[in-house]
């Protein structure tokens, strides 16, 4: 498999990938979008930092791509929707650069409070202007954190140790968690109007784009200073330039820009701003951390050792993956079988997990089941990543539930497929050697090996059925590998499932269907 590293990555990460004999690693940085589009078709994985833009166009040209690894946090340079639609796993390294970015934010706050860059430039220019650079203490000042996630929390902790009062706006954090940190959570407008320093730590999204614009600057104190070490675009740069020029606020420190590099930005010319060229994560430690983290994650995903830190796939560490693997296999079989057996227009698939498996992460199992379910019916490549979105696109509702242990089976995974004609039930478990077994088909208890070519027959429970079917199959030299029967009462309706070693030709199937005491017969391929 081929891996393309298209932005500069620390050698510690590169070596992790190069060490694997199944992986061929190319490093090609500074590619123009057209160049990347040309070559991406040959690669199974793409590793980027923030330089490479993995746009929809690039993703759609990436015929073999399975994984995009982002060494860093922000995924705004990866079209997640396009990747998900194409079944490409997108992973990042959430924790690797948190401390570095929090420390950079603290540097910005300190630089702002004492005008360090401006004072340094003035002294180097031959001046000695001590009164011009009168500063303010952080002690007893109010810090407003917008986005109390990993970095916001680390900034809050450090600021508390400076004796600052910390208030925050983050609609997705509980009041209790914030309180334990010593942070008071309030509405955005209150944070903006009360804070002496306002620091932004949200992701850039449709919701946070221009979260801070003219209206928000109008709420701030004239002495307020704002810091953005998150993403360009969360603060409206035009509005910020205006607020600084008109002294609506006292200062700003900006590490990230709407366009990078910010050539021609009005911010570059202002006196009361400290700017750095997106350096939040630029420390030796953070770069090694994120390079190792992403290389290991990409390697494991490519080599089937589990997926972690994926934005469009549930994270499964290698140990959990080992436990889940046989169930993933079972779920794929349950999906394939139920989709081939279901008659009519499918509207809903209900999946029920019971037994100790309910204590594990079941999302990958549901994804596997839906993948198996859609594989026989859709043209597009279905995989774990795009299965749920493809089902949604087709209007198929997927419902997952968990219940207490079934008495007969330690773990049981049961699927009900609802169509406009009927409701089909298929349930399965693992055998003692971890192989998938179908234990319920419709209302019948069975013990079926879900594998290869199968004939599923509804018949009347009368003597001679096995002989008839055996003779018909033997006439075409089709070997029977296994047979199982399920019935509710002697002489009534029953089900027969036959595993055969080769495909069943249409004429033989028709003869089986027309045989005495046979109600219906269907061939299935798993
Ligand atoms: P995180 O996911 O841990 O935290 C983000 C927080 O923002 C979450 O708590 C979330 O609830 C909150 N949030 C989301 N939408 C919000 C909204 N509309 N209003 C208020 N809060 C909202 O992320 P993180 O690792 O702390 O990273 C934060 C930001 O820093 C990201 O934008 C990331 O890309 C950026 N970053 C920049 C650098 C750099 O080099 N400057 C380095 C690392 C991360
Ligand atoms: C990140 O999102 O991790 C940072 O912006 C750092 C980077 O882009 O590499």
Q: Which residues contact 135 (CB under 8 A, 6 or more apart)?
A: 113, 114, 115
Burial of 470 (0-12, 13-18, 19+ CB in 10 A): middle
- CA–CA separation, 408 vs 406, rounded Å? 6
Catalytic residue among 260, 393, 408, 516: 260
Is 231 catalytic? The answer is: yes
Please give the DSSP secondary-structure letter assigned to residue 24.
E
Q: Does residue 380 carry a pLDDT above 70?
A: no
Region 83-97: mean pLDDT is: 91
Q: Does residue 308 carry a pLDDT above 90?
A: no
- Same domain assignment for residues 127 and 210: yes
In a domain, 438, yes or no: no
- Same domain assignment for residues 59 and 143: no
Locate tokens 């997108």: which residue?
Answer: 90
- CA–CA separation, 422 vs 419, rounded Å? 5
Closest ligand 1 atom to the C-alpha of 76? 34
Domain count, the chain: 4
212, 299, 297, 311: which is closest to 254 by C-alpha? 212
Mean of pLDDT over the chain: 93
Is 278 catalytic? The answer is: yes
In a domain, 234, yes or no: yes
Is 305 catalytic? The answer is: no
- Same domain assignment for residues 250 and 346: no
- Same domain assignment for residues 227 and 356: no
In a domain, 433, yes or no: no
In a domain, 432, yes or no: no
- Same domain assignment for residues 260 and 188: yes
The upper half-sphere exposure of residue 63, i.e. CA atoms within 13 Å in the direction of its Cβ, equals 4
Residue % of the chain over a pLDDT of 70: 99
Q: What is the pLDDT of residue 37?
A: 98
CATH number at residue 366: 3.30.1330.90
CATH number at residue 510: 3.30.70.260
Among the bound ligands, name the one nearest to the CA of residue 92: 2
- CA–CA separation, 488 vs 466, rounded Å? 18
C-alpha dist (Å) from residue 350 to 61, 323, 399, 413, 474 = 35, 23, 5, 10, 39
Catalytic residue among 104, 201, 231, 299: 231
- Same domain assignment for residues 110 and 89: no
- CA–CA separation, 510 vs 419, rounded Å? 25
- Same domain assignment for residues 287 and 222: no
- Same domain assignment for residues 248 and 305: no
Of 380, 398, 420, which residue is a domain's last?
420
Per-residue pLDDT tens digits for 429-469: 999 899 999 999 999 999 999 999 999 999 998 888 889 99
- CA–CA separation, 198 vs 194, rounded Å? 9
- How sure is the predictor about 383, in pLDDT bands with cuts at 50, 70 and 90? confident
Among the bound ligands, name the one nearest to the CA of residue 277: 1
Q: Does residue 407 carry a pLDDT above 70?
A: no
- Same domain assignment for residues 215 and 103: yes
- CA–CA separation, 177 vs 171, rounded Å? 12
- CA–CA separation, 339 vs 498, rounded Å? 18
In a domain, 298, yes or no: yes
Per-residue pLDDT tens digits for 172-209: 787 888 999 999 999 999 999 999 999 999 988 888 99
Per-residue pLDDT tens digits for 109-127: 999 999 999 999 999 999 9
How far is the centre of ligand 2, averaged over its atoms, from the C-alpha of 37 (Å)? 23
- Same domain assignment for residues 307 and 351: no
**Residue 371's domain spans which residues?**
314-420
Do residues 231 and 260 lie in contact, with contact meaning Cβ atoms separated by under 8 Å?
Answer: no
Per-residue pLDDT tens digits for 212-263: 999 999 999 999 999 999 999 999 999 999 999 999 999 999 999 999 999 9
In a domain, 425, yes or no: no
3-state secondary structure 413-437: EEEEEEECCCEEEEEEEECCCCCEE
Give backbone dihedrals phi and psi of 523, rounded to 5 degrees, phi first: -100, 145
In a domain, 180, yes or no: yes
Q: What is the pLDDT of residue 236?
A: 98
- Same domain assignment for residues 214 and 269: yes
Locate tokens 């998150």: which residue?
Answer: 230
- How sure is the predictor about 379, in pLDDT bands with cuts at 50, 70 and 90? low
How far is the centre of ligand 2, averaged over its atoms, from the C-alpha of 154 (Å)? 16
- Same domain assignment for residues 103 and 227: yes
Q: What is the pLDDT of residue 322?
A: 83
SS3 category, 299: helix
CATH number at residue 200: 3.40.50.720
In a domain, 441, yes or no: no
Do residues 108 and 253 lie in contact, with contact meaning Cβ atoms separated by under 8 Å?
Answer: yes
Locate tokens 């746009």: which residue?
Answer: 55
How far is the centre of ligand 1, averaged over its atoms, from the C-alpha of 76 (Å)? 12
3-state secondary structure 215-246: HHHHHCCCCCEEEECCCCCCECHHHHHHHHHC
């Amino acid at each position: 498999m081929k891996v393309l590293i298209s932005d500069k990555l620390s050698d510690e990460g590169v070596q992790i990938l190069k060490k694997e004999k199944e992986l061929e690693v190319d490093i090609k940085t500074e590619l123009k979008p057209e160049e990347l589009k040309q070559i991406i078709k040959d690669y199974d994985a793409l590793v980027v930092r923030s330089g490479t833009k993995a746009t929809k166009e690039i993703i759609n040209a990436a015929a073999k791509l399975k994984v995009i690894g982002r060494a860093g946090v922000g995924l705004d340079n990866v079209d997640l929707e396009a990747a998900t639609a194409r079944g490409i796993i997108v992973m990042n390294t959430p924790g690797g650069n948190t401390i570095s970015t929090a420390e950079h934010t603290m540097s910005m706050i300190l630089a702002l409070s004492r005008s360090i860059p401006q004072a340094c430039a003035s002294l180097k220019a031959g001046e000695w202007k001590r009164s011009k650079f009168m500063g303010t203490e952080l002690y007893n000042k109010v810090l407003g954190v917008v986005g109390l996630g990993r970095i916001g929390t680390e900034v809050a902790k450090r600021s508390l140790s400076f004796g600052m009062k910390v208030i925050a706006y983050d609609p997705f954090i509980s009041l209790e968690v914030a309180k334990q940190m010593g942070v008071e959570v309030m509405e955005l407008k209150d944070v903006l109007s009360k804070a002496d320093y306002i620091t932004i730590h949200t992701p850039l999204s449709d919701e946070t784009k221009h979260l801070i614009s003219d209206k928000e600057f109008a709420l701030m104190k004239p002495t307020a200073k704002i810091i953005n070490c998150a993403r360009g675009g969360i603060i409206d740069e035009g509005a910020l330039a205006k607020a600084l020029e008109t002294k609506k606020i006292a200062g700003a420190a900006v590490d990230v820009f709407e366009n990078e590099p910010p050539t021609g930005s009005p911010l570059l010319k202002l006196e009361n701003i400290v700017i750095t060229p997106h350096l939040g994560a630029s420390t030796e430690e953070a770069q090694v951390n994120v390079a190792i983290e992403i290389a290991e994650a990409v390697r494991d995903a490519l080599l089937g050792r589990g997926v972690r830190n994926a934005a469009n796939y549930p994270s499964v560490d290698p140990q959990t993956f080992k436990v889940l693997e046989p169930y993933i296999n079972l779920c794929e079989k349950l999906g394939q079988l139920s989709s081939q057996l279901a008659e009519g227009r499918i509207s809903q698939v209900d999946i029920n997990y019971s037994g100790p498996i309910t204590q594990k992460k079941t999302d990958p199992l549901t994804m596997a089941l839906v993948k198996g379910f859609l594989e026989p019916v859709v043209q597009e490549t279905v995989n774990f990543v795009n299965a749920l979105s493809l089902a949604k696109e087709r209007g198929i509702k997927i419902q997952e539930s968990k219940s207490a242990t079934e008495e007969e089976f330690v773990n049981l995974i049961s699927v009900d497929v609802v169509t406009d004609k009927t409701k089909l039930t298929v349930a399965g478990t693992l055998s003692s050697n971890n192989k998938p077994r179908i234990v319920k088909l419709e209302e019948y208890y069975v013990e079926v090996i879900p594998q290869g070519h199968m004939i599923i027959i509804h018949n009347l429970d009368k003597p001679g059925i096995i002989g008839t079917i055996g003779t018909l199959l033997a006439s075409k030299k089709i070997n029977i590998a296994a047979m199982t029967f399920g019935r509710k009462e002697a002489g009534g309706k029953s089900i027969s499932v036959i595993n055969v070693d080769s495909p069943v030709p249409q004429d033989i199937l028709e003869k089986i269907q027309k045989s005495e005491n046979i109600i219906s017969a269907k061939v299935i391929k798993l």
